A and B are shown apart, each in its own frame.
Chain A
Amino acid sequence: MTKISFILNGERRSLDVEPYEVLLEVLRDRMGAKSPKCGCDSGDCGACTIHLNGRSVRSCLILAVEANGQEILTLEGISRHGLSPLQKAFHERNVFQCGYCAPGLILSATELINNNPHPNEHEIKEAIAGNLCRCTGYTPVVEAILHTTKKE
């Protein structure tokens, strides 16, 4: 067992982990952060996307010990202060259907907007291409991001 600590959604958390424990499982089963989902366990689907020091990563591909001393943001952290403009657009435009890919997709899109406040359509598609969605056909997702980020 190794003692690790990280900042999770603004709060310092510490725990003992086995060296083989995966960050996704630790976040879900031991930290109670259920928004990152497992959809493939091999980095293909993006449902487990979180931010590690502001960069979107697949939490199913990262060992918990690697997160020691890092800053982690999940959708719970984004939602604590109410809906972001992006979440508001997704909500009002009925973008998601089953919603399982939503946490990962919102994290990927949030990273994009943080780095590039006015992305074009292709940049948006590139940014979310690692997040699989079987329901929406992606077009409503892309349109909502474009709507949120268009220049006034």
Chain B
Amino acid sequence: MQNYQHIGHSAVRVDGKEKVTGAALYTDDLDFGPNLLYAEVVEGPHAHAMILSIDTSEAEKVHDVVAVVTGKDFPYNFGLYMKDRYIFAQDRVRFFGEQIAAVVARTPHAALKAAKLVKVNYKPLPKVLCPVEAIAEGAELLHPNLKNYQHVPWFFPQPDTNIAHHRKIRKGNVEKGFDDADFVLEDTYNVPRYSHCAIEYHAAVAKYDLSGRLTVWASSQSPHTQRNLFANALAPLGIKHNDVRVIAPHVGGGFGSKAGVTMEILAAAIATKVPGNPVKVLWNREREFYNTYQRLGVVAKLKIGVKNDGRITTLKHDLFWDAGAYVEYGANVVNAVGLSAIGPYKVDNASIDSYCIYTNLPPGGPYRGFGYSEFLFGLESHMNRIAKHLNMDPVEIRRRNAIKEGDLTAYGAHMNPNGLHKAIDAVEQKIQWNQPLISNDPNIAIGKGFSLFWKAPAMPPNAASSCFLKFNEDASINLLVSGMDIGQGFLTVMAQIAAEELSVPTSKIRTENPDTDRNPYEWQTVASHVTWGCGNAVRKAAIDAREQIIELVSRTKFLPKETLFLENERVKCTTDPSFELLLKDFIINGIQAEDGTFKGGPILGRGVFMPEYTSTNADPETSQGGHPNVHYTVGAAAAIVEVDKQTGKVRIRKIVEAIDAGKALNPSLVEGQIVGGVLQGISTVLYEEMKFDHRGKMLNPNFTDYKIPTALDVPDEIIPIIIEVPQPDGPYGARGVGEHPMIPIAPLIANAIDNALGIRITSMPITAEKICLTYLDSQKKSSI
């Protein structure tokens, strides 16, 4: 085991002091001076309708109104993976609350007042609110132009249907697998939509200055991707990539909602109509619910065959995703699940059909877990039910099937090194799985649950990270990266990596959220990949800087390179203990030679990382042949719950979760992800529920009616366990852990409730009401 000075230590967050003092500034905290304009959007009151006419004349008359813009001003489409989205609705609206126009005014009050005066005539169209209905014969088409949308080569839209993408896996012989099975279980699982509920709203301020420079300040997980999409969408206006600058202040929570581009493009586009004035677009809590990405809903049909010893012979998984009105990002959730819906198991015969289906509900998009929480609800419920039928221990059936390094994934690539079996053992032991649970209260049933999880980063095969490392005169460092610290502690870990390679304290490394003019390229902060991807780039940049330092000292001090090393902000020599050169004495101004001249100059490190073994080139009918995922992060979790038989209320006594981080670069931050992610998972299974009425209007877009947990709703105990089986191409062996902690929680709780009460609930959320009614129903049936 290598001895590290910084890696593996729980360094204090580099942004910690800002955050505990109130110094941390978020987008809406920035001041933009007296010229700041405010934009208010006009929303469509139909889930599906043609726009016949828009009359802005009354709105334009309101005092302090500067401009009113509509779809006609921006006849452009855009999108991350498929260009199916519009800045403002064009000929039709496709979800309730979609933006049709915006009023720009000197005050928020004037903008709001005028927005209400924009008159729009609609012709309502039949709407489709359910994915299964949307693919029925004769269903209303949401995107008649689907066949003409540009998209990435790994999507397969089906023209003249509502299917925007269909990912298929065909591996082995599924039918023979069912024939060989001793037991087959088939059922359907329903997972509804969820909202991210970052506490900070989406916010964007854009300024198109009089020289044609477009600057956007945004609460963002994706500054460079936003720059790219803004520049591409606004290219008809003559805007080039280097005309666009995205500045990302602190982000008050992302969870996927601030990835890609949603409302930020409104600010960018509107600004071009009011040159010289910054324009602010600020969402509110209601719009956070119905006009940003939502987690996609899914109807998942699952059929698994097993032998009597519990070994899986075959798996068939059909997933019908409610992807919403625009799927430019959400279709990749569908794709990711299509590739991985065998779960963390060795499955020789598999068939997966993952359908991305347009519906007249808000656009589905990335949400922590990227589809894996959704399919694991069914899969991990199924594994427990199969174990119950076979009279096997739920841990044992998982152990028997759990994937190992070198086993083939659903698409035929080899599974990466991983600690899944170690995680199973660790969790089983820590929760004392074999200890009987006895309730002293006849009204309280106690149960235990178990679940495995896995997840791979879902990203283009050539998603890249880069880093510049600049020394200052005092040998302090500015580390320039474009990953976003959205709370996970990314910047702290990047500082630790540079500190490790250069032997400087993390306190001397300044690293901040990016400005695309200043910081080099990063694809996006999503997919739990930045610690791995950007971490590699930072390490390379630090090594690059170190090599320059060693080279300079070697040639000016006439010492062999291999004898020089860095320690404690100094260059030292293995063969001459008396030699030491302080970095600050030469890191900018060079080293003076005996003839009085200077050698060297400012040390600048540069690092780039892109995986060079990934490919999406595969047979679209089987998905065999490519290597779409870089690696999977795996783990296991167990829970002990109490259920009140009379009220259905669940109290979670204990959750143990083990995750294979490869190498925990900062254990305290990894544990923070586990504890926070577990509660977010609990919230989706026990509390949260988006309600839509028959018009497709969300009924509970606020924290009064859409409940997320408070401090009083936490489990009695959450025990995080870190497993470390190194990832060969990860920095120090690290792989991502940000999304994963919440992924196993829904089936975990469902399994524990079944264990407590003998009831199986196959639709989320599993509210107290649902538990109570299901339990009463089961008691009636058993008494008949």
Contacts and interface: CB of A to CB of B under 8 A. Distances in A.
Interface string A28-66: 100000110111111011010000000000000000000
Interface in A1-49: 28, 34-35, 37-42, 44-45, 47
A69 interface: no
A20 B10 CA distance: 48
Nearest to A75: B22
Given A34-B25, A37-B199, A134-B708, 18 more contacts: A37-B252, A83-B17, A98-B200, A99-B19, A100-B250, A102-B22, A125-B712, A126-B712, A134-B198, A134-B253, A134-B680, A135-B487, A136-B672, A137-B677, A137-B718, A138-B679, A138-B711, A139-B718
Contacts of A94: 10, 12-13, 16, 489, 668-669, 672
B711 A125 contact: yes
Given A98-B250, A138-B714, A83 B199 contact: no
A141 B678 CA distance: 15
Contact of B19 (A45, A102, A129, A140): A102
29 contacts: A34-B25, A40-B702, A42-B285, A44-B702, A45-B199, A45-B703, A75-B21, A76-B21, A79-B20, A94-B10, A96-B20, A96-B487, A98-B198, A98-B250, A98-B252, A99-B18, A129-B712, A132-B703, A132-B710, A133-B199, A134-B198, A134-B708, A136-B672, A137-B675, A137-B677, A137-B680, A137-B714, A137-B718, A139-B718
Contacts of B302: none
Given A38-B28, A47-B199, A87-B20, A97 B487 contact: yes
A47 B668 CA distance: 25
A74 B29 CA distance: 15
A91 B19 CA distance: 8
Nearest to B714: A138
Given A40-B702, A79-B22, A90-B20, A137 B199 contact: no
Contact of B710 (A96, A97, A130, A139): A130
A142 interface: yes
A103 to B, nearest CB: 5
Contacts of B679: 137-139
Highest count of chain B CB atoms <10 Å: which of A106, A130, A139: A139
A72 interface: no
Contacts of B24: 99, 102
Interface string B86-98: 0000000000000
Given A99-B252, A137-B675, A128 B711 contact: yes
A79 B21 contact: yes
Contacts, number: 162
B433 interface: no
Interface residues of B, number: 54
Interface of A: 28, 34-35, 37-42, 44-45, 47, 74-76, 79, 83, 87, 90-94, 96-103, 106, 124-126, 128-142
Contact of A98 (B12, B486, B677, B711): B486
A66 to B, nearest CB: 20
Interface string B225-241: 00000000000000000
A44 B703 contact: yes
Contacts of A41: 284-285
A133 B19 CA distance: 14
B703 A37 contact: no
A136 B677 CA distance: 8
Interface string B458-493: 000000000000000000000000000011110000
A131 B712 CA distance: 11
Contacts of B255: 134
A91 B704 contact: no
B496 to A, nearest CB: 13
Contacts of B17: 83, 91
Given A97-B672, A128-B711, A137-B678, A91 B16 contact: yes
Contacts of B708: 132, 134
Highest count of chain B CB atoms <10 Å: which of A75, A99, A132: A99
B45 to A, nearest CB: 22
A40 B253 CA distance: 14
B504 interface: no
Given A34-B29, A129-B711, A44 B198 contact: no
Interface in B30-77: none
Contacts of B26: 37, 100
A37 B709 CA distance: 19
Q: Which 8 pairs of residues, A with B, have the shortest CB-CB distance? A: A100-B252, A35-B22, A97-B487, A99-B19, A98-B487, A75-B22, A44-B703, A137-B679
Nearest to A104: B199
A91 B15 CA distance: 9
B16 A96 contact: yes
B711 A141 contact: yes
A113 B15 CA distance: 25
Contacts of B254: 98
Nearest to A136: B676
Contacts of B331: none
A124 B714 CA distance: 13
A109 to B, nearest CB: 10
B23 interface: yes
B255 to A, nearest CB: 7
Contacts of A135: 253, 487, 672, 676
A75 B23 CA distance: 9
Nearest to B368: A134
Contacts of A91: 12-13, 16-17, 20
B251 interface: yes
Interface in B200-218: 200-201
A108 B15 CA distance: 22
A93 B489 CA distance: 13
A99 B487 CA distance: 7
A29 to B, nearest CB: 9
Contacts of A137: 675-680, 714, 718
B566 interface: no
A134 B199 contact: yes
B518 to A, nearest CB: 22
A134 B528 CA distance: 17
A47 B676 CA distance: 18
A73 to B, nearest CB: 11
A40 B285 contact: yes
A37 B329 CA distance: 29
Contacts of A133: 199
A74 to B, nearest CB: 7
Contacts of B704: 42, 44
B542 interface: no
Highest count of chain A CB atoms <10 Å: which of B10, B23, B676, B712: B676
A134 B22 contact: no
Nearest to B18: A99
Nearest to B26: A100
A98 B253 contact: yes
Contacts of A102: 19-20, 22, 24
